[in-house]
């Protein structure tokens, strides 16, 4: 559903144009809203963007787990509590809330990257560094074989 990466700019009002291919996928799902939330790997902060239908599946999985599991509680306190439901306007843009823009350092140049059932929104420079680090997986044939894909 969501694949590839696309460069954009975020405007002064915090609006981000959703890539046309992603808009097509959202239209197929009849989703006119996204759920944006915080995510971090190491020091690389970005946003996760879910169609409402994918977010609801995630919520069901979370609810099926032990409510008082300390690790799940930590996860919910950041990932779920940090989530914002954002409508997509008629021009295919989403207004990224200021708190989330600040978290992911989204000021001008942005990259959207597909993650199959959701996509990520990155500061372009942060994405480039993370991509260089992640690309090293191709130097590890045993890791690729273990993925079994």
pLDDT in tens, 95-121: 999 999 999 999 999 999 999 999 999
Total tally of structural domains belonging to the chain:
1
CATH code of the domain in which 108 resides: 3.40.1550.20
Residue 136 within any structural domain of the chain: no
Q: What is the pTM of this model?
A: 0.93
Please report, for residues 9, 101, 117, the alpha-carbon distance to residue 84 in angstroms, rounded to integers and kept in the order given: 20, 12, 17
> Does the pLDDT value for residue 31 go beyond 90?
no
Q: Which domain holds residue 64?
A: 5-124
Alpha helices in 31-147 (DSSP H): 52-63, 70-75, 98-103, 124-134, 141-147
Residue 140 within any structural domain of the chain: no
**Please, are residues 93 and 15 in contact by the beta-carbon 8 Å criterion?**
yes
Quickly count helices (H) and strands (E) in the chain: 6, 8
């Amino acid at each position: 559903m969501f694949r590839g990466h696309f460069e954009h700019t975020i405007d002064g009002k915090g609006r981000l144009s959703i890539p046309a291919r992603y808009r097509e996928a959202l239209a197929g799902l009849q989703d006119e809203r996204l759920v944006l939330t915080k995510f971090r790997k190491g020091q690389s902060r970005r946003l996760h963007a879910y169609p409402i239908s994918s977010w609801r599946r995630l919520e069901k999985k979370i609810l099926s787990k032990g409510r008082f599991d300390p690790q799940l509680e930590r996860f919910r306190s950041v990932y779920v509590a940090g989530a914002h439901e954002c409508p997509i306007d008629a021009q295919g843009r989403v207004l990224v809330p200021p708190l989330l823009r600040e978290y992911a350092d989204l000021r001008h140049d942005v990259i959207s990257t597909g993650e199959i059932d959701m996509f990520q929104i990155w500061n372009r420079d942060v994405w480039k560094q993370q991509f260089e680090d992640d690309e090293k997986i191709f130097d590890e044939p045993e890791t690729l074989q273990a993925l079994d894909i």
